Amino acid sequence: MRRAPVVTMLFTLALGACNADNTLVVGTAPAAPENLAAYYYAGAVYITWDLGAAWNGESFRVYGRRTTDQNYAFVAEVTSCAGGSCEYEDLNVVAGQSYEFYVSAVDAQSGVETATANSVQVDVPVPSPPPVPTQVAVTALDNTNYIHWSTASRTASDFSFYRVYLAASDGTDYLLGETDSEGFLDRLATNGVTLQYYVTAVNTVGDESAASALAAGTPRPDYHGEYLDNYYDQPALSGFRFQADETTDPIVSGTSSSRHFRLQVDSTGWWLAPGPGTGIYPVGYATTALKCGVGADASCVDVTQAPTSGYTTQNLSLDPQTSYVLRVVGDDNQNHYGVIRVDLLGYDQAGNALMIFDWAYQLQAGNPDLTSGR
């Protein structure tokens, strides 16, 4: 799209300009901006260009118009660029309209302008955000909350990512981060403090959905709600060792010789990988809780006794709401039994796989009773 009337005007300006005392100042036309482009995102149009090869510190003027208008109007002056490239964000645009822009370099002394060889057109769409995220829930962990939700927003063909917000008690909303996974770890949460969250979905042109329903979580210190990272994503945080004291961190490196097991996730599934000296009972138990204590619902199902034989050293496929029994070598170099119950298999905001689980450990060597001790 050439702008013949504008180019003619700029040619006239290039002949010279008058200073404050009406003395004619003849200036050299500055180098024209190059590689003009523009795009729409999140309610704004971004105009970009590169410095001309002979640029000599001149500033730039951005001109624009609606494609239905006859004349261009001055939009803004840009005086600084970074790395040889320049950008201007125009927020004064209306949905459903088309706009045309060009940029000129301006000689500060003479006022002579040299425009880009072409203009660029941008269509501003009517916002059409993805569906609001649903089934937002929080799993409370130790000094961490794990926010997760359904894949309902992905039904939009132009879905791009999610934004996770903290709804603070003072009425202020804070953006915690963005993710293209249906899960987010808030590692800034504090034990004993209830926090509320909501999630929005964003499409490829930055249109953001309305907020999801609020979901709350209260982190707490416990051997419930442990989480473990995938060995292939975060090897240093993928190993686990049963502990006799919950004040001792059970998370170890996935390469540590002291690990009782580690989490491995690959294209074939989620795997419980035994460490040195560890045996895994090859059958998982569908359970409703790690332990059915006093006052538990009559329908509560747990694993009360560990099998005393039949263990394997092969990796075992994992499923949620399932308990797995392990025979491990304790700090006393004797065999102990432990059990983990998988609560959730998911992903964090970086797309890294993780497992959230509860665990129990029998302190007495050789005792298969999993309802006493730790």
Spatial separation of the C-alpha atoms in residues 27 and 44, rounded to whole Å: 35
Indicate if the alpha-carbon torsion angle 6, 10, 12, 18 is positive or negative.
positive
137-217: same fold as 4-123? yes
Prediction pTM value: 0.68
Of residues 59 and 143, the one with the higher pLDDT is 59
Domain residue spans of the chain: 4-123, 137-217, 226-361
Using CB atoms within 10 Å of the CB of residue 48, give its burial: 0 to 12 exposed, 13 to 18 middle, 19+ buried: middle
Q: Is the pLDDT of residue 238 over 70?
A: yes
Per mean pLDDT, which range of 6-15, 146-155, 354-363 is the poorest? 6-15
pLDDT in tens, 279-289: 999 999 999 99
Report, in angstroms and rounded to the nearest whole number, the Rg of the chain calculated over CA atoms.
Answer: 31
pLDDT in tens, 69-112: 999 999 999 998 988 899 999 999 999 999 999 999 999 888 89
If you average pLDDT over every residue of the chain, what do you get?
A: 89
pLDDT of residue 260: 98
State the fold for domain 4-123: Immunoglobulin-like (2.60.40)
State the fold for domain 137-217: Immunoglobulin-like (2.60.40)
pLDDT of residue 267: 95
Amino acid identity of residue 49, one-letter, is W
Q: Which two tokens stand for residue 264?
A: 């491995």
Query: What kind and span of H or E run contains 106?
Result: strand 98-106
pLDDT in tens, 9-55: 333 333 444 444 544 445 578 999 999 999 999 999 999 999 998 89
| Rounded (10°) CA dihedral 243, 244, 246, 252 | -10
pLDDT of residue 184: 95
Q: Which two tokens stand for residue 272?
A: 């419980």
pLDDT in tens, 294-330: 566 788 998 989 999 999 999 999 999 999 999 999 9
Q: Which two tokens stand for residue 238?
A: 């993928």
pLDDT of residue 6: 40
Average pLDDT over residues 352-368: 92
Q: Give yes or no for a contact between 161 and 93, defined as CB atoms under 8 angstroms apart.
A: no
pLDDT > 90: percent of the chain: 72
Q: Is the pLDDT of residue 349 over 60?
A: yes
Q: Looking at residue 369, what DSSP letter applies?
A: B
Per mean pLDDT, which range of 129-143, 219-233, 246-260 is the poorest? 219-233
pLDDT of residue 137: 92
Residue 7 vs residues 13, 103, 191: alpha-carbon distances, Å: 10, 12, 66
Spatial separation of the C-alpha atoms in residues 162 and 158, rounded to whole Å: 12
